[in-house]
Amino acid sequence: MQLNWGFMEKYLPMYIDAAILTVKIAFGGILFSLITGFICAIVRYYKIPILNGIAIVYIELSRNTPLLVQLFFLYFGLPKIGVVLSAEACAIIGVTFLGGSYMAESIRSGFESIDKVQLESAASLDLGPWLTMKEVVFPQAIAVSVPGICANVIFLIKETSVVSGIALADLMYVTKDLIGLYYETDEALLMLVIFYLIILLPISIIASVLERRLRYAGFGD
**DSSP output for the chain:** ----HHHHHHHHHHHHHHHHHHHHHHHHHHHHHHHHHHHHHHHHHTT-TTHHHHHHHHHHHHHTS-HHHHHHIIIIIGGGGT----HHHHHHHHHHHHHHHHHHHHHHHHHHTS-HHHHHHHHHTT-HHHHIIIIIIHHHHHHHHHHHHHHHHHHHHHHGGGGGGGT---HHHHHHHHHHHH--HHHHHHHHHHHHHHHHHHHHHHHHHHHHHHHHTT---
> Cα(116)–Cα(114) distance, rounded to whole angstroms?
6
What pLDDT, on a 0 to 100 scale, did the predictor assign at position 169?
87
Q: What is the pLDDT of residue 17?
A: 95
pLDDT tens per residue across all 221 residues of the chain: 688 888 899 999 999 999 999 999 999 999 999 999 999 998 998 889 999 999 999 999 999 999 999 999 999 999 999 999 999 999 999 999 999 999 999 998 888 887 777 777 777 777 777 777 777 777 778 888 888 999 999 999 999 999 988 888 899 999 999 999 888 899 999 999 999 999 999 999 998 888 787 766 655 54
pTM here? 0.87
In CATH terms, the superfamily for domain 21-216 is: MetI-like (1.10.3720.10)
